């Protein structure tokens, strides 16, 4: 039974939504919306008044006889019959459709009438087929928003961006360190494997007073709900939606537990199969031969018992790492300290927050040899994109600045917009003056796979283009990748000697791990670049390096591990191809 005013108000709101979806008159819908607002704004709880025989509901401000009756029904029965009636008439999937930003119940009604849209899937098909934009009051921009909105609604709350989870991970570890005698403590699972998103966090701990570990854990101040509370295992929800598991293990089996709870499951299953073939048994307590424990205290020991070198967690996906380990050809993965510069940065001349000087100073603080200043071009009006003249003037400033700085060079760059046909919005003669040209797509993204593939490949065929920025356009939990054949794009990059960007912004991480690996296999270099819109965002580099490591990239696969001289030599050669 609804207890609070907020819940009663919610019922009126839902009825208003349902009425609107079903095409009810404006006045009828408005009556329910008003009721919802009046109730939400009341300073007294309705249930208190309803329980008091001396008080009357219709004495409350804004509540007449009719509404008082409806409220009484809700208080007595928990609902209004109208809600169930409407729910019977209207496809339930339309309630998901109105969760899309910019699609209210009114628009949902139109989509239902015009296109027979019943739920997110039928809406997605219609939008993909370009039918939505032709409806009166919709248009191409709404169609695009809808495609992205479907993706966002479907992905809502499922997985958390690693960078967001990181804040909780560090905070909880900090909280747990107050425990006496912590021997080992690690966040295992997908988090340790450096995945771009995590389903939940898995903390593993070995300590002298295990009984106190669970208590300490569930007393974490950021806990919004305790899911489980046990002696060796507990779970909480931290903040709004970050589930955190903790497992308290024996120090003697630390290595085996760490291996087990780091996963991935596919990797561990493969290891277990190997163990069996060797007459061994592997589980979360150790490696056993004839019931006798031969390893388990350290993770290295576990791998060694199986005849393997230790495999770094970000490779543990059963994607060939075990065979590579057996043959002693595991990649030597790129590290943050290998990075010599940032090849995608914006300044306050367009939509960035800091000056060129400030971006360079941050680069120098990081020990970088170069920072490519890559502001937007004219097509990206919202960001104050530069036209040909603006760019030439901008680059003159950069030349001047470089004369007064010696250790960190600013590259004269641009992030040129790729038009729908794959041509660029800045003249070739001007692009020829740049040190570094990024090309990227910002508009007209709802095209077929072959169209988008041709568009990106054509952009790469321009000899002034050095790199394709955020190649698939995806934003985690927000926007799906373009329909594009990345194999063909990689082939084009290889043909024209250009590189693909691994955009290090945590919500982009574009290209992903598998695409990085494919680029590497085809000899296409990857540039790990932050797309920083402030000096602070240059710290995104570490997220990009994490993703690159999951993609098996080594130092030599990454363009911005080159020194300034080698980079300039390579870029000049590329430009005159």
The residues binding ligand DGT (CB under 6 A) are 189-190, 198-200, 202, 260-261, 263-265, 268-269
Distance between CA atoms of 23 and 105, rounded to whole angstroms? 9
Q: Which is nearer to ligand DGT, 167 or 428 (CB)?
A: 167
Could you say whether residue 313 binds Ca ion (CB under 5 A)?
no
Q: Which of 105, 124, 189, 331 binds Ca ion (CB under 5 A)?
A: 189
Q: Which of 164, 196, 202, 557 binds Ca ion (CB under 5 A)?
A: 202
Q: Which stretch binds Zn ion (CB under 5 A): 135-143, 158-166, 263-271, 415-423?
A: 415-423
* 482, 441 contact by CB (below 8 A): yes
Residue 268 binding partner per list ligand DGT, Zn ion, Ca ion, none, with a CB distance cut-off of 5 to 8 Å that depends on partner kind? ligand DGT
Coil vs helix vs strand at 233: strand
- CB hemisphere CA count around 369 (13 angstroms): 14
Could you say whether residue 245 binds Ca ion (CB under 5 A)?
yes
Q: Which is nearer to Ca ion, 96 or 202 (CB)?
A: 202
Residue 415 binding partner per list Zn ion, ligand DGT, Ca ion, none, with a CB distance cut-off of 5 to 8 Å that depends on partner kind? Zn ion
Which residues make Cβ contacts (< 8 Å) with residue 483, sequence separation at least 6?
A: 447, 448, 449, 452
Q: Which of 96, 196, 200, 531 binds Ca ion (CB under 5 A)?
A: 200
Q: Which is nearer to ligand DGT, 243 or 561 (CB)?
A: 243
Could you say whether residue 415 binds Zn ion (CB under 5 A)?
yes
Q: Closest separation between CB of residue 193 and ligand DGT, Å?
A: 7
Q: Closest separation between CB of residue 292 and ligand DGT, Å?
A: 22
Torsion of CA 548, 554, 558, 563, to 10 degrees: 140
Q: Closest separation between CB of residue 473 and Zn ion, Å?
A: 12
- Smallest Cα–Cα separation from 264: which of 316, 323, 319? 316
Q: Closest separation between CB of residue 221 and Ca ion, Å?
A: 22
Q: Closest separation between CB of residue 385 and ligand DGT, Å?
A: 38
* 156, 477 contact by CB (below 8 A): yes
Q: Which is nearer to Ca ion, 435 or 513 (CB)?
A: 513
Distance between CA atoms of 57 and 77, rounded to whole angstroms? 17
Residue 384 binding partner per list Ca ion, Zn ion, ligand DGT, none, with a CB distance cut-off of 5 to 8 Å that depends on partner kind? none
Torsion of CA 116, 118, 121, 122, to 10 degrees: -10
Q: Closest separation between CB of residue 197 and ligand DGT, Å?
A: 7
Distance between CA atoms of 34 and 29, rounded to whole angstroms? 9
Q: Which stretch binds Ca ion (CB under 5 A): 54-62, 79-87, 126-134, 243-251?
A: 243-251
- CB hemisphere CA count around 336 (13 angstroms): 12
Residue 105 binding partner per list Ca ion, ligand DGT, Zn ion, none, with a CB distance cut-off of 5 to 8 Å that depends on partner kind? none
How big is the site for Zn ion, counted in residues (CB under 5 A)?
2
* 486, 450 contact by CB (below 8 A): no
Coil vs helix vs strand at 243: strand
User: Which residue has 């025989």 as its token pair?
Assistant: 53
Which residues make Cβ contacts (< 8 Å) with residue 308, sequence separation at least 6?
A: 322, 325, 326
Q: Which is nearer to ligand DGT, 259 or 446 (CB)?
A: 259
Distance between CA atoms of 412 and 356, rounded to whole angstroms? 11
Interacting residues with Zn ion between 526 and 545 (CB under 5 A):
531
Q: Which is nearer to Ca ion, 471 or 506 (CB)?
A: 506
Q: Closest separation between CB of residue 538 and Zn ion, Å?
A: 13
Q: Which stretch binds Zn ion (CB under 5 A): 170-178, 365-373, 428-436, 525-533?
A: 525-533
Q: Closest separation between CB of residue 314 and Ca ion, Å?
A: 14
Q: Which is nearer to ligand DGT, 32 or 254 (CB)?
A: 254
Distance between CA atoms of 507 and 502, rounded to whole angstroms? 12
Q: Which is nearer to ligand DGT, 12 or 261 (CB)?
A: 261
Q: Closest separation between CB of residue 186 and ligand DGT, Å?
A: 12
Distances (CA, A) of 262 to 255, 536, 547: 10, 31, 17
- Smallest Cα–Cα separation from 103: which of 126, 85, 82? 126
Q: Which is nearer to Ca ion, 44 or 241 (CB)?
A: 241
* 351, 384 contact by CB (below 8 A): yes
Burial of 126 from C-beta contacts in 10 A (0-12 / 13-18 / 19+): buried
* 543, 191 contact by CB (below 8 A): no
Q: Closest separation between CB of residue 376 and ligand DGT, Å?
A: 35
- Smallest Cα–Cα separation from 4: which of 33, 35, 38, 47? 47
Q: Which is nearer to ligand DGT, 148 or 200 (CB)?
A: 200
Q: Which is nearer to Zn ion, 510 or 531 (CB)?
A: 531
Residue 512 binding partner per list ligand DGT, Ca ion, Zn ion, none, with a CB distance cut-off of 5 to 8 Å that depends on partner kind? none
Binding site for Zn ion (CB under 5 A): 415, 531
Using CB under 5 A, list all residues that contact Ca ion: 189-190, 200, 202, 245
């Amino acid at each position: 039974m609804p207890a609070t005013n907020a819940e009663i108000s919610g019922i009126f709101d839902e009825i208003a939504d349902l009425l609107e979806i079903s095409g009810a008159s404006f006045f009828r819908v408005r009556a329910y919306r008003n009721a919802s607002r009046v109730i939400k704004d009341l300073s007294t709880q309705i249930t208190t008044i309803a329980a008091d025989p001396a008080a009357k509901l219709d004495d409350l401000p804004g509540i007449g006889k009719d509404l008082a009756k409806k409220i009484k029904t809700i208080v007595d029965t928990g609902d209004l019959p109208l809600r169930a009636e409407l729910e019977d008439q209207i496809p339930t999937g339309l309630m998901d459709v109105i969760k899309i930003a910019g699609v209210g119940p009114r628009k949902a009604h139109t989509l239902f009438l015009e296109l027979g849209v019943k739920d997110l899937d039928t809406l997605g098909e219609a939008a993909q087929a370009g039918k939505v934009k032709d409806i009166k009051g919709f248009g191409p921009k709404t169609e695009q928003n809808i495609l992205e909105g479907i993706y966002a609604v479907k992905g809502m709350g499922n997985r958390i961006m690693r960078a967001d989870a990181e804040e909780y991970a560090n905070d909880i570890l900090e909280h747990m360190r107050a425990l006496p005698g912590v021997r080992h403590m690690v966040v295992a699972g997908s988090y340790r494997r450096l995945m771009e998103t995590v389903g939940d966090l898995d903390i593993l701990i070995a300590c002298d007073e295990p009984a106190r570990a669970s208590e300490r854990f569930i007393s974490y101040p950021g806990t919004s709900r305790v899911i489980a509370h046990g002696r060796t295992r507990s779970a909480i929800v931290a903040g709004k939606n970050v589930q955190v598991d903790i497992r308290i293990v024996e120090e003697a089996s630390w290595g085996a537990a760490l291996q087990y709870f780091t996963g991935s499951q596919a990797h561990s299953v493969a290891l277990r199969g190997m163990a069996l073939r060797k007459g061994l048994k592997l589980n979360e307590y150790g490696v056993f031969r004839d019931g006798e424990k031969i390893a388990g205290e350290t993770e290295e020991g576990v791998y060694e018992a199986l005849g393997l070198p230790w495999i770094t967690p970000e490779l543990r996906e059963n994607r060939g790492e075990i065979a590579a380990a057996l043959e002693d050809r595991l990649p030597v993965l790129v590290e943050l300290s290998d990075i010599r510069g940032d090849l995608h940065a914006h300044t306050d001349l367009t939509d960035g927050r800091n000056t060129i000087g400030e971006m360079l100073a941050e680069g120098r603080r990081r020990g970088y040899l170069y920072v490519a200043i890559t502001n937007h071009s004219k097509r990206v009006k919202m960001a104050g994109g530069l036209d040909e003249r603006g760019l030439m003037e901008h680059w003159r400033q950069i030349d001047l600045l470089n004369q007064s700085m010696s250790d960190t060079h600013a590259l004269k760059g641009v992030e040129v917009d790729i038009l729908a046909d794959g041509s660029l919005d800045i003249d070739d003669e001007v692009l020829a003056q740049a040190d570094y040209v990024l090309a990227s797509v910002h508009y007209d993204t709802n095209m077929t796979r072959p169209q988008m593939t041709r568009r990106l490949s054509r952009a790469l065929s321009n000899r002034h283009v050095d790199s394709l920025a955020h190649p698939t356009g995806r934003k985690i939990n927000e926007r799906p990748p373009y329909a594009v054949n990345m194999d063909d794009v990689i082939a084009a990059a290889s043909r024209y000697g250009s590189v693909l960007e691994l955009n290090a912004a945590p919500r982009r991480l574009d290209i992903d791990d598998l695409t990085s690996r494919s680029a590497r296999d085809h000899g296409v270099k990857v540039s790990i670049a932050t797309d920083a819109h402030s000096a602070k965002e240059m710290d995104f580099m570490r997220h990009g390096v994490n993703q690159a490591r999951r993609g098996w990239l080594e130092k030599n696969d990454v363009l911005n591990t080159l020194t300034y001289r080698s980079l300039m030599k390579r870029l000049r050669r590329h430009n005159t191809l």
